[in-house]
């Protein structure tokens, strides 16, 4: 049978805590977070991922680990926070094939991203489950206390911006699910990778502090998440469809199947930042993005009113984009 819990911690997880102040090499009952700098606040977020729901059961373990970390880092970025570290809860089924190889890949993925994002494992737990592989990551970051980016600060007249490209992940999931045939061409490979490995905007988020009036990360679909800004800020959000940035790969797929256009607006897992900023801040937004090496695109504006309206190239409202419980067009 597999390693005991303590051997498992020693071998796979304790090395990931090295260098973290207050983690004690995962040898004590809990970790100590250092006091945040003067005027700074801790930002805490948690995401759970379940095999078969949030990733595919046969996804490589290193990619599962990295996605679990990155979706949390995306939430920190959406608050304008700089990431510090994370804790991890892991539940593995007893019938997992080659559990040590799985854990080895999983820890390797965590190590890779820890190095990329400058964070450490601070603590965690690993248990057995009769269900599918399930993991939960809690991430910690810091932001200037009064300047965290909230969903509630958008004002009529503000521009609406989004980072990166939208829809790659939704199409990538279709590719991986086989709805689109096997992954043979470079576009399919690119799109599948965008689903499996989000690029959280960890530098852009903090760079927008003091510039953006509201922000969130797009995890449930552009239209639905824009609705959160509308609701929390008490404003209307107008999105111009033709301005929504697409990757070359997504554009080619959409030319081939126009029905995909709908999927990119309502599909999830983009992990891009959707934010608002006053018109007077346009050059500041561009400078911040240039400084962090991210692309940003102005896709619409904030209006007095409520709900989300998507306009096509002719200025006509695009209907029928509602998905899930709440929508208002
Ligand atoms: Mg979020």
Q: Domain boundary at 147, 167, 184, which?
A: 147
Give distance in angstroms: CA of 6 to centre of ligand 1. 33
Residues 120 and 250 placed together within one structural domain of the fold: no
Same domain, yes or no, for 221 and 307? Answer: yes
Verify that 166 and 282 share a domain, yes or no: yes
CA distance between the termini of the chain: 56
* Residues 307, 196 share a domain: yes
The verdict on residue 180 lying in a domain is yes
Task: Check if the beta carbon of residue 302 is closer than 8 Å to that of residue 276.
Answer: yes
In this structure, the answer to whether residues 138 and 179 fall within a common structural domain is no
Distance 216 CA to ligand 1 centre (A): 6
The domain containing residue 90 runs over which residues? 5-147
Residue 152 lies in a domain: no
Are 32 and 175 within one domain?
no
Last residue of a domain, one of 147, 169, 195: 147
Distance 199 CA to ligand 1 centre (A): 14
Ligand 1 centroid to residue 230 C-alpha, Å: 15
Give pLDDT, residue 187: 92
- CA 256 / ligand 1 centre spacing (Å): 31
Distance 135 CA to ligand 1 centre (A): 17
192, 62: one domain:
no
Do residues 102 and 174 share a domain? no
Task: Judge if pTM exceeds 0.75.
Answer: yes
- Burial (CB count <10 Å: 0-12, 13-18, 19+), residue 293: exposed
Which of 95, 113, 147 is the last residue in one of the domains? 147
pLDDT in 10s for each residue of the chain, 329 residues: 456 777 888 889 999 999 888 899 988 889 999 887 888 999 999 999 999 988 888 889 999 999 999 999 999 999 999 999 999 999 999 999 889 999 999 999 999 999 999 999 999 999 999 999 999 999 999 999 999 999 999 999 999 999 999 999 999 988 888 755 555 789 999 999 999 899 999 999 999 999 999 999 999 999 999 999 999 999 999 999 999 999 999 999 888 777 777 888 888 889 999 999 999 999 999 999 999 999 999 999 999 999 999 998 899 998 877 543 333 33
Centre of ligand 1 from the C-alpha of residue 269, in Å: 10
SS3 33: coil
Distance 157 CA to ligand 1 centre (A): 24
Same domain, 83 and 109: yes
CATH number of the domain enclosing 299: 3.90.650.10
Q: Which CATH number is 108's domain given?
A: 3.30.1330.10
């Amino acid at each position: 049978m597999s390693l005991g819990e303590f051997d498992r911690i020693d071998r796979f997880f304790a090395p990931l805590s090295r260098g973290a102040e207050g983690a004690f090499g995962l040898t004590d009952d809990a970790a100590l977070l250092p006091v945040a700098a003067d005027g700074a606040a801790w930002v805490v977020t948690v995401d759970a991922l379940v095999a078969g729901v949030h990733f595919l059961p046969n996804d490589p373990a290193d990619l599962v680990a990295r996605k679990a970390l990155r979706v949390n880092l995306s939430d920190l970025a959406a608050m304008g926070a700089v990431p510090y570290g994370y804790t991890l809860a892991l539940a593995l089924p007893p019938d997992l094939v080659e559990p040590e190889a799985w854990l080895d890949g999983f820890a390797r993925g965590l190590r890779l991203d820890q190095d990329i994002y400058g964070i450490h494992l601070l603590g965690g737990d690993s248990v057995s489950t009769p269900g599918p592989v399930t993991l939960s990551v809690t991430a910690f970051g810091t932001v200037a206390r009064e300047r965290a980016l909230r969903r509630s600060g958008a004002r009529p007249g503000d521009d609406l911006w989004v980072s990166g490209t939208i829809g790659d992940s939704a199409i990538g999931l279709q590719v991986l699910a086989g709805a689109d045939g096997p992954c043979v061409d470079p576009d399919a490979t690119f799109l599948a990778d965008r689903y499996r490995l989000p690029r959280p905007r960890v530098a852009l988020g903090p760079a927008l502090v003091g510039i953006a009036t509201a922000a969130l990360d797009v995890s449930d679909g552009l239209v639905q998440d824009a609705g959160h800004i509308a609701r929390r800020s008490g404003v209307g959000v107008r999105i111009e469809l033709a301005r929504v940035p697409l990757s070359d790969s997504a554009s080619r797929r959409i030319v081939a199947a126009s029905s995909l256009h709908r999927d990119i607006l309502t599909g999830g897992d983009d992990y891009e930042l959707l934010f608002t900023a006053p018109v007077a801040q346009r050059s500041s937004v561009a400078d911040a993005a240039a400084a962090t090496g991210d692309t940003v695109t102005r896709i619409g504006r904030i209006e007095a009113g409520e709900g989300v309206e998507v306009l096509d190239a002719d200025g006509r409202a695009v209907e029928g984009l509602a998905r899930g419980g709440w929508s208002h067009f």
